[in-house]
Amino acid sequence: MVDSDLSDIFHQGQRQAPTLDDSLPQPRPEPSQMLDPRALRVWRINAAIGTLFIWIPAGIAVTVTYLADWLWPWMLLILIFPFLITILQVFIIPPLEWRRWRYEVSEREVDMQRGVFVTTRTLVPMSRVQHVDTQQGPILRYYGLSAVTITTAGGGHEIPGLSEEVASEVRDRIAALAGVADDV
Amino acid sequence: MSEPQRLHPAAILIMALRVSRQLVLPLMAPFVFSLLSQGLDAISPVMLFLLIGAVTLLILLSAGWGFLYWQRYTFQVVDNELHLRQGIIFRKQRTIPRERIQAIDFVEGVMHRIFGLVAVRVQTAGGNEPGFSLIGISRSNAEALRDELSLRPSQVREVEGAGLAASDDLDGTETATQAETAAESGLLRKLTPQQLLVAAATSGGIGIALPIIASGMSLVNNAMPNNDLFELATSVFGGVSWWSIALFILLAAWVLSFVGTILAHAGFTIRRSDDNLLIERGLIEKRRATVPLNRIQAIRVIDGVLRQPFGYAMIKVESAGYGEDASESSVIFPFLPRSEVAAFLNEAVPEFAWDPPEFSRPPRRAIRRYITRMTLVGLALSAIVIAIFYPLGLWALASLPFFAAFGYLCYRDAGWAISDGTMVMRYRTLARSTAIIPKRRIQSSDVTQNILQRRGSLGNINATVASGVSGATFSIMHLDKGVADQLFAWTGRGRTRLDRSHLPRQLRPQPQRDFWESTDFTSPASDSGWPK
C-alpha cells in the first residue's frame, strides 16, 4: 500500500481543502436555526453550579492549609486551578457552544450541529422518530425556555434551550411529520 | 388457543430448582462455614438437627413457590395478542401485541430434555422489560404458539407470492408440521465437526478468557500457600520463570475459549423458513433462536484476528429488541469461508447481500492519525505494565512499533462503499468488521470532527441502527471531511417509504425512482434544506 512518496502523510502544515466524491450527493448546507439567546444564560448558570464541585473541595483544602499554618503560596496554587476552570466553563465555552449550535427541521429529517472541541452534526430521519417531547427544569422554566427531546430506536437527541413557543412548535411539527413518515 | 393455558406441570420442578438454587447459599452457608472453621468437631446433634431443619425448609419453600408460580401463570393468545397473567405476591397481567414481538427462542436445558419440554423466550421491543420466558411447555405447544404468534398476514402472502418450493402445499394457513417441513427444507448451512474444531481453535474468546484465568490463578495461588501452581507450571514447561507462567496462562486461556466455543457452537445450524431465520446450536444446552428477517437492522461480517489469515469470517446480525444475551444470539453463522459470504448472505438475508468489489478509503494524510492513535493506546498499556512489574516491565515499550503497525493496518482496512440504498462500512477495532447497513434502517447519522482533525480537514462518519435495547453505532474514522459530509448527506436523502425488503431485488425500486415516489406527503414538498 505504501506505493509512492510518504511526504503527504506527514505534511499537514496548512489546512487541507476537502475533496468531494462525484458518486455522492453534495454536502448539506449548515442547519439554519439557532437557539434562543437566553439559552446562553442558562448554560452559564448551569456551568457555574457545576464548578461548585471543584470550588467546595478547594475551599476545604484552603481551610485546612489555613488551620494547619499560613502558607499563602500553597493557597494560591490550590485556588488557581478552580479559577481557571471557572473562566473556561462559564465565560469561554458557553458562547462558543451557543454560536456553534444549529438545528433545522425539514420534512424528511432533523438536522443538528453542536460542539466546541469536537463538532458533531447529527441527522435524524423523520420516519425513525418514535416520540418527541419538550421538557424544562427549574432554570429553563425561569427563563421561559424548553428543551425538545427526540427519541428513536437507536437513542435520544436533544435540542436544548428554545423559547417555550418555538419548542412546542418544533415538537408539534416533528410529531406531525414523523406521523406522516411513519411506515415501518 | 382460545382459553388460558398453564405451563407444563414439570415447570413446578424447574421453578423449584431455580428457587432452591437461590436459597441454598444463604441457608447452607452457616454450616459450611462452621465445618471449614472447626473441622469435624463442628458436627454435633444440635447442628444435625438444624441442618435437617434447613434442608426441609429449603425443599418446602422451593416446592411451594414452584407450585404457586405454576398455578398463577397462565397464557393465552387472543386476537393476535399474547395475554399473560402471573405473579404470586405481585399479580401482573401483560398483553403483548404480535407486532411488538421481535423474536422467539426455544431454550432447552437438561431438565427440559428429560421431560421433552422447551422454555419459550419471547423478545419484545423497547420498554424496561425486554422480554419474558415461559419456563416450560411441551415442544408441540411451543411450536403451535410460535406459529400463532410469528406468522403475520404479510409473511403468509410472501410465501405464496414468492413461489418458494415449500409454499406448494400451503394455503395461506400453516400447521406446525408443515412449518417444520418448510424449516427442514430451508437448511442453509450446518457447521461440520471439523469446522467446529478449527473455529474453536481460532475463536477470539482467548482475549476474554485471559484475564479470567490470570485472576483465577492468583486467587488459587493465594489460597494454596505451597505454590502448587508453580510446581504444575514447572512440570509442564520445566523450570519456573515469568515466561513459563505466562505461557501456561496463555495455554489455559486458549483451552477455556476452545471448550467454550465447542459448547456454544456445536451443531450450529441455520435454516430459513419464510421470513424467519431459525438457528440451532449448543452441545449441552440446545438453543434455538428465531430471528424475523424484517427485524434485522444490519449485518456484520467479522474477520477475527486469528481467522482472517485462514480466510474465515463470522456473520452477526444487529436485530431490534433482541435483548438479554445479544452478543451470543446475534451470531447467525460462526465460521464461513470468506469466498462464500456473499452467497450465504444472498440465501439467508437477501436484503443485505452485497459484496462491494472495492472500497473507497480515507485519504493518505489520515495515516498519521491512525498510527498516532494506536501508539498512544500502546503507551497507555505499557505504562500499566511498567507500573506493575517495574524493571522487567520496561520491555513493554518494545511493543510500540507493533502498535504503530497495527494503526497502519486499521488505516488500510477502513473504507466505505455505497450502492442501491445500502452503505457498507469497513473498519478494524481488533478484528476487521464489515457492516452492511441499508439506508432505511439508519436511525441517525453523525459527522464528527475534533480539533486535530480540523487541521487536516478530516472527519468521522457514524451510522446508528436499532439493536438490542439501545442502538449500535458503526463508524469510520478520519475520512476526508468533504466526503464525510457527503456520506452524511447521503444518509438523509431518498429513503424508501414502504418496507420492500421482502421483495426480490429486481422488484425493489431504484433509489432515484424511490426518491420521487416517496414525496407523496400530504403537503407538497418545498424544502430548502436539501441540496438540489
Question: CA-CA distance, A136 to A147, in Å (whole number)?
Answer: 6
Beta bridge pairs of residue B74 = B6, B85
Question: CA-CA distance, B512 to B493, in Å (whole number)?
Answer: 10
Question: CA-CA distance, B462 to A47, in Å (whole number)?
Answer: 29
The reported pLDDT for the residue numbered A44 is 95
Phi, psi of B273 (to 5 degrees): -125, 115
Question: CA-CA distance, B34 to B42, in Å (whole number)?
Answer: 6
ipTM of the complex: 0.84
From chain A, pick out residues whose CB is under 8 angstroms from the CB of B472.
154
Q: Give the residue-averaged pLDDT of A52-74.
A: 83
CATH 2.60.40 fits A103-181, yes or no: no
The reported pLDDT for the residue numbered B423 is 94
Residues of chain B with pLDDT under 50: 126-129, 152-183, 322-329, 494-532
Question: CA-CA distance, B269 to B256, in Å (whole number)?
Answer: 23
- Looking at B238-340, list the stretches that DSSP marks H as alpha helix, in order from N- to C-terminal side: 242-265, 326-329
Phi, psi of B476 (to 5 degrees): -120, 130
From chain B, pick out residues whose CB is under 8 angstroms from the CB of A123.
444-446, 488, 491-492
Check residues B379 and A182 and name the one with the higher pLDDT: B379
What percent of chain B is helix, strand and coil (3-state, nearest 5)?
Answer: 50, 25, 25
Question: With the C-alpha atoms ordered B393, B394, B397, B398, is the resulting torsion angle positive or negative?
Answer: negative
The reported pLDDT for the residue numbered B246 is 77
pLDDT band (50, 70, 90) for residue A86: very high
Can you give the pTM of this predicted structure? 0.68
Question: CA-CA distance, B155 to B502, in Å (whole number)?
Answer: 9
Reply yes or no on whether the pLDDT at A167 is more than 90. Answer: yes
Give the residue on B whose Cα is nearest the Cα of A153. Answer: B466
Shortest Cα distance, chain A CAs vs residue B160, angstroms: 22
Residue B281's Cβ-side half-sphere holds a number of Cα atoms within 13 Å equal to 27
**Cβ neighbours, 10 Å, residue B286:** 18
Nearest to B455 among A15, A106, A184 (CB): A15
Question: In the 8-state DSSP scheme, what is residue B226?
Answer: T
Check residues A17 and A57 and name the one with the higher pLDDT: A57
Domain boundaries, chain A: 38-97, 103-181
Cβ(B492)–Cβ(B470) below 8 Å? no
Domain boundaries, chain B: 5-150, 193-264, 269-362+414-517, 364-410
The grid coordinates listed for A48 are 457555574
Cβ(B452)–Cβ(B369) below 8 Å? yes
From chain A, pick out residues whose CB is under 8 angstroms from the CB of B452.
none
Q: A27–B448: do the CB atoms touch at under 8 Å?
A: no
Cβ(B305)–Cβ(B312) below 8 Å? no
Task: Tell me which fold the domain B5-150 belongs to.
Answer: PH-domain like (2.30.29)
Nearest to B368 among A9, A31, A109 (CB): A9
Give the residue on A whose Cα is nearest the Cα of B464. Answer: A154
Q: A153–B457: do the CB atoms touch at under 8 Å?
A: no
Among A66-80, A161-175, B9-23, B422-436, the minimum mean pLDDT is found in: A66-80
Q: A25–B493: do the CB atoms touch at under 8 Å?
A: yes
Q: B443–A153: do the CB atoms touch at under 8 Å?
A: yes
pLDDT band (50, 70, 90) for residue A128: confident
Give the residue on B whose Cα is nearest the Cα of A184. Answer: B499
From chain B, pick out residues whose CB is under 8 angstroms from the CB of A19.
363, 480, 482-483
- Between the alpha carbon of residue B59 and those of residues A64, B18, B109, B275, the distances in Å are 60, 12, 21, 45
From chain B, pick out residues whose CB is under 8 angstroms from the CB of A125.
442-444, 491-492, 495
* Sequence-ordered strand ranges (E) for B139-201: 187-190
Q: B466–A104: do the CB atoms touch at under 8 Å?
A: no
The reported pLDDT for the residue numbered A18 is 64
Question: In the 8-state DSSP scheme, what is residue A113?
Answer: E
From chain B, pick out residues whose CB is under 8 angstroms from the CB of A18.
457, 480-483, 485
The reported pLDDT for the residue numbered B70 is 92
Question: Over the stretch B209-246, which tens digit does the pLDDT of each residue have?
Answer: 777 777 777 666 666 555 565 566 566 555 556 677 77
Q: A155–B363: do the CB atoms touch at under 8 Å?
A: no
The reported pLDDT for the residue numbered B239 is 55
Q: A106–B320: do the CB atoms touch at under 8 Å?
A: no
What percent of chain A is helix, strand and coil (3-state, nearest 5)?
Answer: 50, 25, 25
From chain B, pick out residues whose CB is under 8 angstroms from the CB of A156.
none
The reported pLDDT for the residue numbered B506 is 42
Q: Determine which of A122, A158, A177 to mutate to test the interface with B (most B C-beta atoms within 10 Å).
A: A122
